[in-house]
Amino acid sequence: MGFFLRWLFAFLLLTATYNPTGFNYLEWAAVNYVEELPMTVFLGLLLAIGYLIYLRATLRSIGAGGMFLILIVLSALMWVLYDWGLLAPTGEVAYTWLGIFALSIVLGIGLSWSIVRRNLSGQVDMDDVEED
């Protein structure tokens, strides 16, 4: 359940920022920033904090190379599903949703990786060590 929640929050963060439905921060801010400048800045800062948390944790746990590797594996999986006829995206909207889904998987794995690693190997990741 822990990974699912981390992935779900990453998915919500990405879709709140941009999605093809038109109901997202970027499109809302582009139209309303003059009349709603304080709210635009406030919501933008909340999204930035969310991205800061996810990206920092992901870069610290799996790094840029790990992020790239996960994207390659997800791309290959989508290719296999497409080749087998199980995935048939049509149009820009479907590809946008696939991209959002893939990025949310990367962020979810990045935020969960230390927990998975500890459970598999018994090793604990330590970022800050206090010395006496």
* Residue 5: how many other CB atoms lie within 10 Å: 12
Sort residue 122 into left (φ over 0), alpha (ψ -120 to 50) or beta: left
| Span 72-102, pLDDT tens digits | 999 999 999 999 999 998 899 999 999 999 9
The rounded radius of gyration (Å) of the Cα atoms in the chain is 18
In this structure, the dihedral spanned by the alpha carbons of residues 75, 81, 84 and 90, taken in order and rounded to 10 degrees, is -90
Extents of the domains making up the chain: 2-118
Q: Which of 11, 5, 7, 15 is nearest to 109 (CA)?
A: 7
Mean pLDDT of 118-125: 72
Residue 97 and residue 20 in contact, taking contact as beta carbons nearer than 8 Å: yes
Two tokens, residue 132? 């006496």
Confidence of residue 130 (pLDDT cuts 50, 70, 90): low
Contact of 105 with 74, CB cutoff 8 Å: yes
pLDDT at 84: 96
Q: Which residue has the tokens 């949310």?
A: 104
Global pTM value: 0.84
Residue 125 gets which letter from DSSP?
P
pLDDT at position 116, please?
76
Task: Give yes or no for residue 123 having a pLDDT over 80.
Answer: no
User: Given this model, what pLDDT does residue 126 score?
Assistant: 62
Convert the pLDDT of each residue in 2-53 to its tens digit.
889 999 999 999 999 999 998 999 999 999 999 999 999 999 999 999 999 9
Angle at 61 between CA 118 and CA 15, to 5 degrees: 115
What's at 88, amino acid-wise?
Answer: A
Closest CA to 9 of 42, 57, 41: 57
pLDDT for 118 equals 76
